[in-house]
Amino acid sequence: MTDSDIKAEQPQVTVHTFTASVTDTTVFYQVIKMSDSFHLWVGAKPSLENMALAMNTRFESLPLATHLFGDSSNPIAASLAQRLAKKTGKQVFVSCNLAYDQLTMPVVEKRITEEMKKRPEMF
């Protein structure tokens, strides 16, 4: 095998981070993009308290979502993963370490949507 036989390939895993100020709190976002999926972590402090997974199926129009670990009575991660899976067509893992608030979550989701439009190659 010679050097000309070796092709340069894009990395299979990329990491993208961004922040937003939401109701006097700095919210951190981190996206770990893989081949046909991504993991989105959202939080105000560095911890991984829960994780949910959503993916499209050929049997339902709404993506299937489930909690992988953490408090399964908190629907934020699963519902966010479900909406992102529907939007992107990818398998989506979400960890959301924010308390549910009717004012906070729409702003958090809006910031994710803005970043997806601005940097689609990171999702």
Write the pLDDT tens digit of every residue in 71-113: 888 889 999 999 999 999 999 999 999 888 888 899 999 999 9
Q: Over pLDDT 90: what percentage of the chain?
A: 75
112: helix, strand or coil:
helix
How sure is the predictor about 8, in pLDDT bands with cuts at 50, 70 and 90?
A: low
d(CA 46, CA 116): 22
Which residue carries 């809006």 as its tokens?
110
Is residue 3 scored above 70 in pLDDT? no
d(CA 22, CA 42): 12
Best CA proximity match to 38, nearest among 93, 118, 110: 93
The pLDDT tens digits of the residues spanning 26-42 come to 999 999 999 899 999 99
pLDDT at residue number 9: 66
The Cα diameter of the chain in Å comes to 59
Beta bridge partners of 30: 17, 41
Phi and psi based region of residue 51 (left: phi greater than 0; alpha: psi -120 to 50; beta: remaining) = beta
Tokens found for residue 14: 């990329």
